[in-house]
Structure 1
Amino acid sequence: MTPFSGDRIILSDLGFYGYHGLFSEEKSLGQRFFIDLQCGVDLSGPAQTDAIGSTVSYAAIYDTVKTAFETRRMHLIEAVAQNIVDALFAAFDDIDWVIVRVRKPEAPIAMVRGEAAIELHRVRPA
């Protein structure tokens, strides 16, 4: 199977309040961030057995993302995203790849509407 294909667990529009950023206002006042996540996991077992113990828990994925997001303050959302990827690979052996998008709707740029975002595509290291 090629990376980023096949079965996946998807968590979208996860909202967090954080203190990531370069500017002092971002570090002291904080702001909203939103995370979209896809985790490549073989879901054939749980699809056939309907057994909760044969899949990766969405709640456990969320808890891992939340902890990774909140534990360490970063300057760049790229580093926030990589920290999340690293935590997911460390916590779940069944996750083969991750696509994570970190969105920053109040980025300190003069935009009337929209958001700044990055997206990382990572395959579990061999």
Structure 2
Amino acid sequence: MAEPYTGDRIILKDLGFYGYHGVFAEEAKLGQRFFIDLELGTDLTAPAVTDDLATGISYADIYDVVKAAFEDQRMKLLEAVAQNVVEAIFQRFDGVTWVVIRLRKPEAPIAMVRGEAAIELHRKRQ
């Protein structure tokens, strides 16, 4: 078996969502933008050889699962939101062996001139 986080992968970047996650009451009331970058480890041999979507994983299906998991429940910590998304991906897509997720919060309520707050989780299927 391949080492985790190597080999074929599906990459989705800058998936944008509006959510109410955060520690502060204002975040729960007003909400803010979040962005998710994903890498999903999966064997892409069949879709590469057959050129048939039915042999792979639809990017649209991945987005739908991520959106539902992101919006499922309000959480205080980015880490918890990201873990919820990872668990949903593993539950829905049997062929995904690992996930790297970066959850970015460009308008975090901290004193930043530029930039964003973000976390990144690396998870492999148990």
- Where on the TM-score scale, by shorter chain, does this alignment land: which range? over 0.9
Shift of 1:65: 0.2
Shift of 1:71: 1.2
The alignment yields a C-alpha RMSD, in angstroms, of 0.4
CA deviations over 1:41-70 (Å, ceiling 9, x no partner): 100111011111000111000000000001
1:103 Cα offset (Å):
0.2
Instruction: Kindly provide the amino acid, as one letter, of the partner of residue 115 in structure 1.
Output: E
Structure 2 residue 43 is matched with structure 1 residue 42: yes
Gaps of 5+ in 1: none
Structure 2, unaligned runs of 5 or more: none
Aligned to 1:122: 123
C-alpha separation between the residues in 1 aligned to 2:16 and 2:50?
32
CA distance in 2 between partners of 1:43 and 1:120 (Å): 22
| Partner in structure 1 of residue 62 of structure 2 | 61
Query: What is the TM-score when the length of structure 1 is the normalising length?
Result: 0.98
Q: C-alpha distance in 2, partners of 1:4/1:79?
A: 21
Identity in percent: 67
- How far 1:40 moved relative to its partner? 0.3
* Structure 2 residue identity aligned to 1:104: K
Matches within 5 A, 1:11-90: 11-90=12-91
Secondary structure (helix, strand or coil) at the match of 1:112 reads coil
Structure 1 distance, partners of 2:52, 2:44, is 11
In structure 1, what is the Cα distance between the partners aligned to 2:25 and 2:73? 16
Please give the TM-score of this superposition, normalised by the length of structure 2: 0.98
